[in-house]
Amino acid sequence: MFLDFFYNLRTAGVPVSAHNWLALMRAVSDGLHENSLDGFYQVARCVLVPSETHYDAFDQAFGVTFRGVEADLSALVQNLDEWLKDPKRLEYLDPALRAELEAMDMETLRRELLERLEEQKKRHEGGNRWIGTGGTSPFGQGGVNPAGIRIGGKGGGRSALAVADARRFRAYRKDLVLDTRQIAAALRKLRTMGNNNLDEELDLEGTVDATARNCGDLEIVMRPPRKNDVRVLLMMDVGGSMDPFARLVSRLFSAAHSSGGFRELKPYYFHNCVYAQVYEDAAFTKPVRTQEILRKYDPSWRLIMVGDAYMHPGELMMSTSNWWDGRGGPVGITWLARLADRFAHAAWLNPEPQHVWDAPTIAEIRNVYDMFPLTLTGLSDMVHALRRPPHPARRTRVHAIARG
């Protein structure tokens, strides 16, 4: 069983080394686990897990080894959803209660639940709004509401297996989507790209000190500028297939503004693909010519595209009309390539899971942009990529596509 635990940890992505494993065996032989499964869980996590980002993977491997934890709950969610939709299950209810239940919109109820989970900051008991116990809120346990969602169940105690089952550390995983604070912290790494040692500024304190040491003869001291020189173009796909990711993209936009440190940040919006124009607002009431963006901003700007890149192939490859003169314009992929050709430091953030990135339009766009998932690891990888010189082969390919 212990050997199975080792391989399950490796399979789950926990980087367990032979040295770590021998240390665990030594700890067990010395009785540090107090001859209990709870003690072994604590000791093993302390010795084997190098970072809190692997806590969740450790819990899954522990559960699989010592009892078995269902790794994919999608089937359970589907069965629960089917059970809730099955009218035969409601035959035992009185007519008035059944009418109340059938009047509830499950999608509305789910949306309100997610919103309250984000807003709620502490435990609640009683009341009619927050998730808690008692009361008449639609969400919680032990309350009175004939058309709510029951949260939780009978307590599982404090055993190691219950802790592993609970998977309390999922928020630490690197492959999960980001919150605003994490996005801001990752974007701040972009600031190191903008320091230009050729453009220095006067170091007033250093100049006074050096002049005093030089017996009053003026000695100018210069220093690299404190103000960051990074300029970022942020182009975001909105509407349609991006609606499920609207909250996530809003967090990215908020974090880009709140993180500070950028000399300039210019947001633009498009739908599915960039054509002859983009927009300054998500309502698409303030159009801006794409050609004007290519002319206005110099190549030192960093371009970050945000979108699922998932659309009908015709939207990417079809010819469009220039809105100002009615003539046929370049296809969508050409406009994307022209942007990437103008701004050599460009990347694409995709909120879609990577297993669908082989879709035709996504694959086509990946020929133009380095694409990264909109996760903590993906955003960090994007920042590192934007700090490196562009790859010559990609630049040559992008230039060829941009010429149409």
Cα–Cα distance between 138 and 130 in angstroms, integer? 8
Question: 231-402: which CATH architecture?
Answer: 3-Layer(aba) Sandwich (3.40)
Identify the band that residue 33 occupies on the pLDDT scale cut at 50, 70 and 90: confident
pTM value > 0.85:
no
Identify the band that residue 320 occupies on the pLDDT scale cut at 50, 70 and 90: low
Mean predicted confidence (pLDDT) in 58-67? 84
Pair of tokens at residue 280: 């300054």
pLDDT of residue 147: 45
Place of tokens 């500070």: 260
Question: Cα dihedral sign for 204, 210, 213, 216?
Answer: negative
Rg (CA), the chain: 28
**Angle ∠(38,39,44) on CA atoms, nearest 5:** 105
Antiparallel, parallel or unpaired: β 277-279 and 287-289: antiparallel
Mean predicted confidence (pLDDT) in 7-27? 87
pLDDT of residue 221: 83
Q: Per mean pLDDT, which of 205-209, 259-263, 289-293, 324-328 is the most reliable? A: 289-293
* Tens of pLDDT, residues 282-308: 888 899 999 999 999 999 899 999 999
Cα–Cα distance between 96 and 90 in angstroms, integer? 12
pLDDT of residue 321: 47
**80 has pLDDT over 90:** no
Higher-scoring residue by pLDDT: 185, 346: 346
Mean predicted confidence (pLDDT) in 264-293? 90
Domain with CATH 3.40.50 in the chain: 231-402
**76 has pLDDT over 80:** no
Q: Give me the percent of the chain exceeding a pLDDT of 70.
A: 61
Question: Cα dihedral sign for 12, 15, 16, 18?
Answer: positive
Identify the band that residue 154 occupies on the pLDDT scale cut at 50, 70 and 90: very low
pLDDT of residue 363: 93
